[in-house]
């Protein structure tokens, strides 16, 4: 199974919005709403930010939102804050009953 495709980096200024894409195939992202997003600041474990494409766990700010169209899922962070600077990973369940992660995107808050 191939990793989902994410842009290596994105950036934005405080208060702006950024969107991170995650492209898979009809065997993963395109077939299931089991797409999740994780935030990983340097030296820490990943943290679940979005599940089932667009749902936020308790405690995650509503500045974080998710969507999906076809084989591509997206994470949007609005009202950027300095604390949002981290690596972000998408993940999807697959038709082989496995999971696949994206390559990761480094978010820089300018």
Residues making contact with another protein (CB under 8 A) = 1, 3, 32, 34, 36, 38, 45-48, 51-52, 55, 57, 89, 91, 93, 96-104
Q: In this complex, which beta carbon is closest to another protein, that of residue 16 or of residue 86?
A: 86
Q: In this complex, which beta carbon is closest to another protein, that of residue 19 or of residue 33?
A: 33
Q: Rounded to the nearest whole angstrom, what is the least distance from the CB of residue 78 to another protein in the complex?
A: 22
Q: How far apart are CA 48 and CA 51, in angstroms?
A: 7
Q: Rounded to the nearest whole angstrom, what is the least distance from the CB of residue 84 to another protein in the complex?
A: 19
Q: How far apart are CA 60 and CA 5, in angstroms?
A: 24
- Residue 103 phi/psi, 5° resolution? -75, -10
Strand partners, 95: none
Q: In this complex, which beta carbon is closest to another protein, that of residue 72 or of residue 87?
A: 87
Residue with tokens 């993963």, as numbered in its chain: 28
């Amino acid at each position: 199974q191939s990793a989902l495709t994410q842009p290596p980096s994105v950036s934005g200024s405080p208060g702006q919005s950024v969107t991170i894409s995650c492209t898979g195939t009809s065997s993963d992202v395109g077939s299931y709403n089991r797409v999740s997003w994780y935030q990983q600041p340097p030296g820490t474990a990943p943290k679940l930010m979005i599940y089932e494409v667009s749902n936020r766990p308790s405690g995650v700010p509503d500045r974080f939102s998710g969507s999906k169209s076809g084989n591509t899922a997206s994470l949007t962070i609005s009202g950027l804050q300095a604390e949002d600077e981290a690596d972000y990973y998408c993940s999807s369940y697959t038709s082989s009953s496995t999971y696949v992660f994206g390559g990761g995107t480094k978010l820089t808050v300018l």
